[in-house]
């Protein structure tokens, strides 16, 4: 299995499908990262390459990079202003009830354990909102397919918080397969968790034309193969 696949490239952006557990950008771990690999191996040899957003180390899926400072500023503004529609697919260990809806929590950070805690917001008794160390987190979800043991769910985050999807699903009692940090029964042989950045829709930072990018599922996991490419 390759570490990544290039999905799209032009003079302004590069989109890659991250396939192995590694950070998107250099971090304090010193581990090999996707951004450095791309910059070294792209045939276009861009002098500038910077991730416009990130996905978790152990997730797979779509990551968009800017090849110019101007493109980076445009993409970062689009993400910040929620003009990018991101779609993830997760394989859950428990059935989500109801099968579709919107989750709203306050996210608290635990930097020592590198995890986030999703706190329930109760009408009229919003203790989470009073905490100054929390931020709002919101996502919509819908059940796509089920097997005898697992449940494939589409997630569309409306905010971009650290470990947001993982923390919010865990708070509902629906841990993602392989995600020990957030309550899964066991880890995955691949080292990944089954959360995949499936697609993104946005305006091209240079032309302004609509762009839709889709990242194929990893083919070294039988459950992703079972899902196929129909969702």
Using alpha carbons only, give the angle 139, 142, 148 rounded to the nearest 5 degrees: 130
pTM above 0.85, yes or no: yes
Model pLDDT for residues 105-162, shown as the tens digit of each residue: 999 999 889 999 999 887 544 555 556 689 999 999 999 999 999 999 999 999 999 9
Distance of alpha carbon 190 from alpha carbon 55, whole angstroms = 17
Model pLDDT for residues 62-108, shown as the tens digit of each residue: 999 999 999 999 999 999 999 999 999 999 999 999 999 999 999 99
Check: CB of residue 78 under 8 Å from CB of residue 203.
yes
Distance of alpha carbon 66 from alpha carbon 15, whole angstroms = 9
Model pLDDT for residues 4-20, shown as the tens digit of each residue: 999 999 999 999 999 99
In percent, how much of the chain has pLDDT > 70? Answer: 96
Model pLDDT for residues 172-229, shown as the tens digit of each residue: 999 999 999 999 999 999 999 999 999 999 999 999 999 999 999 999 999 999 998 8
Distance of alpha carbon 167 from alpha carbon 46, whole angstroms = 36
């Amino acid at each position: 299995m390759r570490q990544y696949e290039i999905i799209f490239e032009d003079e302004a952006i590069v989109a890659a499908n991250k396939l192995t557990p590694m950070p998107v950008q250099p971090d304090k771990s010193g581990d090999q990262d996707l951004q450095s690999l791309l910059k070294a191996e792209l045939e276009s040899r861009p002098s500038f390459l910077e991730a416009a957003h990130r996905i978790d180390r152990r997730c797979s899926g779509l990551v968009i990079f800017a090849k110019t400072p101007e493109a980076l500023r445009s993409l970062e503004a689009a993400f910040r202003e929620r003009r990018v529609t991101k779609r993830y697919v997760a394989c859950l260990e428990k059935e989500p009830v109801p099968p579709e809806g919107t989750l709203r929590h306050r996210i608290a950070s635990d930097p020592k354990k590198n995890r986030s805690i999703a706190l329930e917001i109760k009408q009229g008794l919003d203790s989470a909102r009073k905490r100054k160390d929390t931020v709002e987190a919101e996502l919509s979800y819908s059940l796509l397919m089920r097997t005898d043991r697992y449940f494939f769910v589409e997630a569309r985050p409306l905010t971009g918080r650290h470990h947001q999807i993982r923390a919010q699903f865990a708070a509902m009692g629906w841990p993602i397969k392989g995600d020990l940090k957030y309550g899964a029964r066991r880890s995955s042989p691949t080292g990944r968790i089954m959360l995949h950045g499936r697609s993104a829709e946005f305006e091209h930072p240079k032309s302004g034309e609509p762009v839709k990018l889709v990242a194929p599922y990893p083919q070294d996991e039988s459950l992703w193969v079972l899902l196929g490419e129909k969702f």
